[in-house]
Amino acid sequence: MKQFRNMAYPYIVWSVIMIVLPMLMILMYAFTQKGNDVLTFRFTIENFLKFFSDPIFLDVLRRSLWVALLTTVLCLLLGYPIAYIISQTSGRKKILLVMLITIPMWINMLVRTYAWVGILQDKGLINTLLGYIGIGPLPLIYTDFAVVLGMVYNFIPFMILQIYTSLSKMDKSYLEAASDLGANKVESFIKITLPLSLPGVISGITLVFLPAVSSFFIPKMLGGGQYVLIGNVIESQFLTSGNWNFGSAISLIMAIIIMISMYITKKVDKTGQKEGGR
């Protein structure tokens, strides 16, 4: 037992340095402002008041939450059927389908997103193909559509893999029992498969919504800098404006929103498990 404790020490030190200390710094910057002296700071909540009193920042927050919610819903609607189809296959075909989902994730997300710039631009692949049938060029790049498409493309593997894992672990004997009792495939899916897959659905929603609500380089690249989400505001405060205090305050607000979202999804997951166990 003592050996296992000793093995945990490096991880604890790493967590303190890489997670705890940065969070403490964000907390300190969020509630302080520079004083007259370089080394002095004063406690204040002006950073938070500035955010909640400015309709522009609130509009950006609403847009970010809406885009993240839309991305999550689309990933769920598209990802669940794909995960279900993969779970129903067997042998090499299943391995191949899983690899087709996971291989794009081996490539850096920035590179994958930048590829869509070439695909969606006026002389890109899609508009070139549409031109052959006399359509276009359509304004695809630097639009809401391009941003949501980039979000869904990058985050849908997380949804698919979580739901697929949940469906793969499902006990097939429940379906056999339902069939013996006269249930058709639709009834078996609604009453057995769907409830048992809810843990994977909840995990997928969490893994998609959390990065989507704070993403900054996808809207920056596919939105052309004109589509601003809350992640872009935080980036500009730290890297462009140099206002670390205000940027930290926004980061702390987003952290609270994310923790609330995680708490809600966890409660829904527990409720679903209790209902499924009845």
CA 117 vs CA 124, 143, 215: distances in Å: 8, 11, 17
The dihedrals phi and psi of 34, each to the nearest 5 degrees, come to -65, 140
pLDDT at 277 over 70: no
Q: Is residue 157 part of a domain?
A: yes
Q: Is residue 268 part of a domain?
A: yes
Q: Is residue 28 part of a domain?
A: no
pLDDT band at 4 (very low <50, low <70, confident <90, very high): low
Q: Is residue 257 part of a domain?
A: yes
- Domain containing 69 — which CATH number? 1.10.3720.10
Cα(126)–Cα(143) distance, integer angstroms: 15
pLDDT at 12 over 70: yes
For residue 248, the enclosing domain spans 46-277
If you average pLDDT over residues 45-55, what whole number do you get? 92
pLDDT at 127 over 80: yes
pLDDT at 267 over 80: no
Q: Is residue 113 part of a domain?
A: yes
Helix (H) or strand (E) holding 41: strand 41-43
pLDDT at 176 over 90: no
Give residue-wise pLDDT tens across range 24-40. Answer: 888 998 998 876 665 66
Give residue-wise pLDDT tens across range 181-218. Answer: 777 888 888 888 888 888 899 999 999 998 999 888 89
DSSP SS3 for 181: coil
Q: Is residue 31 part of a domain?
A: no
Name the least confident of 49-58, 106-115, 182-191. Answer: 182-191
Q: Is residue 27 part of a domain?
A: no
Strands 32-34 and 41-43: antiparallel
pTM (2 decimals)? Answer: 0.85
CB within 8 Å of 113: residues ≥ 6 apart: 150, 154, 217, 218, 221, 222
Number of domains in the chain: 1
**Mean pLDDT in the chain?**
86
CB within 8 Å of 142: residues ≥ 6 apart: 222, 223, 224, 226, 227
Note the residue count of the chain: 278
pLDDT band at 159 (very low <50, low <70, confident <90, very high): very high
Cβ neighbourhood burial of 255 (10 Å; 0-12, 13-18, 19+): middle
Residue 59: the pLDDT is 93
Adjacent-strand bridge partners of 32 = 43
Residue 271: the pLDDT is 62
Cα(136)–Cα(262) distance, integer angstroms: 43
Contact between residue 116 and residue 146 where contact means Cβ atoms under 8 Å apart: yes
Helix (H) or strand (E) holding 42: strand 41-43
Residue 273: the pLDDT is 58
- In the DSSP assignment, the letter for residue 241 is S
pLDDT band at 148 (very low <50, low <70, confident <90, very high): very high
Residue 106: half-sphere exposure toward Cβ, Cα within 13 Å: 5
Helix spans in the chain (H): 2-15, 21-30, 46-53, 55-88, 91-102, 109-120, 125-131, 144-168, 173-180, 185-188, 194-214, 217-222, 230-235, 244-277
Residue 275: the pLDDT is 54
pLDDT band at 64 (very low <50, low <70, confident <90, very high): very high
Residue 227: the pLDDT is 77
If you average pLDDT over residues 139-145, what whole number do you get? 87
If you average pLDDT over residues 206-233, what whole number do you get? 87
Cα(139)–Cα(122) distance, integer angstroms: 7
Q: Is residue 76 part of a domain?
A: yes
